[in-house]
Structure 1
Amino acid sequence: MSLTTQFITELVRAANEAESLSSFDVKRLLSRSISAIRDIRKQRSRDVAVWLDCLFLELAYRKLLNRRGKAMKRATALLLGGLFVASPVCAQETVPWRDINGWSILMDSTMGNGCFVTTGYEDGTILRLGFDFRETKGIYLALGNKNWASLEPGKDYPLQIQFDGNPVWNATARALNFSGANYLVVSTTDTNFANEFTRKLAMRATFNGRQVAALRLSGSARAVDEMLNCQKAVNDAIANKNTPNAPKDPFQANPDVRNANDPFEM
């Protein structure tokens, strides 16, 4: 277990027992949290596990801060200059994983920590395919171009997507704006969609009979394989963070376990 992981465990335990801690102990832990997060951010690491350490530190920090109420927040703001009290510190939405054959593989924290692949084309079109683990827990495809200024974010558009000569996928795409560019985003839980994206050579998208994108998919198979590797690494890192540590003494009685038949058992 790394020193950062040990401190995260200590911080989470402290947050769960916040009411029993002195103000001095709380301020000490919060100060250590800020120093640890600063150190991680200075690394500018491309390692997803390192970024997740930063994220878990921030979550534990906020949990401890919220458990102590408004008075503790005011005291902390005075002590630490208000840092982290109002704004997130690990707000990096996408974390690079790897670049392969013209494709970039990243992890997106706004998609439930889902990994995705993306590439750009000469006409300014951006293509993205990835996992969405928020509510639908599916796959999404995003097509974006800064020239699509007439798209209205929040509105739905009927889109037809075809991979090589395969049957057409009829989809409803939602228009969204990311970093100044308009995107059409299609979501699905059908894994065959991703399979076609991986195996086929080209993809064509049409709207009201008009072709809006004709894209080569060279290298998509390797890119999607690497996306799966990225997602496995992210899932493993999250699982390791959520796994409680085994007690040093496995025979020690658990104070939280009570005999349901004896309500007076201490």
Structure 2
Amino acid sequence: MLLKRIAQSLVVGAICASPVVAQELEKWGASDYWDVMVDPSLGDGCLIQSAFTDGSVVRIGFDRTEGMGYVTAFNDAWGDIEEGAMYPVLFDLDGQEYEAEAKGMYLNGVPGTDIMFDEEDFLFDIAAKYTMTLYTDAGEVMAIDLTGSYQALEAAIECQEEMG
């Protein structure tokens, strides 16, 4: 059921997307450890966001302008990231590994990476797992607790359906 709703949200987002000037996130709701937000700059794509003890802020959501999902992470300690540069990364979700390309970016002066994906299984794995660890060639970058992410992503899908 979750996979079907995710796919529908991404398809509807791709069909309904329109370019929007970057705006602030809008609070939609909350679920346990995660805030559910709407990003007008991504075609009113819904996302979940949480801050972690290592200083990381992580967003997982829907980019309706591209019809894809994404994981974005920011951390002041990542000062050597180059805006627009592509970095090979490895996600480990409780032992299930995914390779990806992360695009370097800054948000309000804080370095981060943006990883786009179009595979439903990846989003489902995030929701169903306990820990997400991100690696680069230099080693482990961050490890976050995914407690409450399943319920939060369900709320993000409900948000996405409400946004039309």
TM range (shorter): 0.7 to 0.9
The yes-or-no answer on 1:183 pairing with 2:112 is yes
> 1:150 Cα deviation (Å)?
0.4
> 1:165 Cα deviation (Å)?
1.4
Give ranges in structure 1 of 5+ residues lacking alignment.
1-58, 60-87, 236-266
Match of 1:116 among 27, 47, 55: 47
* Sequence identity percentage: 27
Separation in structure 2 between the aligned mates of residue 215 and residue 123 of structure 1, nearest angstrom: 9
* Residue pairs, 1:22-37, within 5 angstroms: none
Q: Which has the higher contact order (CA 8 A, sep 6+)?
A: 2
SS in 1 for 2:95: coil
> 1:100 Cα deviation (Å)?
1.6
The yes-or-no answer on 1:102 pairing with 2:33 is yes
> 1:134 Cα deviation (Å)?
1.1
The yes-or-no answer on 1:217 pairing with 2:124 is no
* Residue pairs, 1:48-67, within 5 angstroms: none
Residue type matched to 1:142 in 2? T
- The aligned length equals 145
Give ranges in structure 2 of 5+ residues lacking alignment.
1-19
Go from structure 1 to structure 2 and tell me whether the alpha carbon gap of 1:92 and 1:186 turns closer, same or farther (over 3 Å shift): closer
Q: Which residue of 1 aligns with 2:98?
A: 169
Go from structure 1 to structure 2 and tell me whether the alpha carbon gap of 1:187 and 1:92 turns closer, same or farther (over 3 Å shift): closer
Summarize deviations over 1:54-92 as a string: whole Å, max 9, x none. Answer: xxxxx9xxxxxxxxxxxxxxxxxxxxxxxxxxxx9xx74
Match of 1:146 among 72, 76, 79: 76
Normalized per residue, which structure has more helix?
A: 1
TM-score normalised by the chain length of structure 2 = 0.84
Separation in structure 2 between the aligned mates of residue 217 and residue 231 of structure 1, nearest angstrom: 21
Q: Which residue of 1 aligns with 2:90?
A: 160
The structure having more radius of gyration, on CA atoms, is: 1
> 1:209 Cα deviation (Å)?
4.8
> 1:145 Cα deviation (Å)?
0.2
Separation in structure 2 between the aligned mates of residue 200 and residue 102 of structure 1, nearest angstrom: 15
Q: After the TM superposition, list the runs of 4 or more consecutive aligned residues in structure 1 that deviate by more than 4 angstroms.
A: none
RMSD, matched Cα = 1.6
Q: Which residue of 2 aligns with 1:194?
A: 123
> 1:93 Cα deviation (Å)?
2.6
TM-score normalised by the chain length of structure 1 = 0.53
Query: Is this contact kept in 1: 2:28–2:159, CA < 8 A?
Result: yes
* Residue pairs, 1:81-96, within 5 angstroms: 92-96=23-27
Separation in structure 2 between the aligned mates of residue 92 and residue 171 of structure 1, nearest angstrom: 27
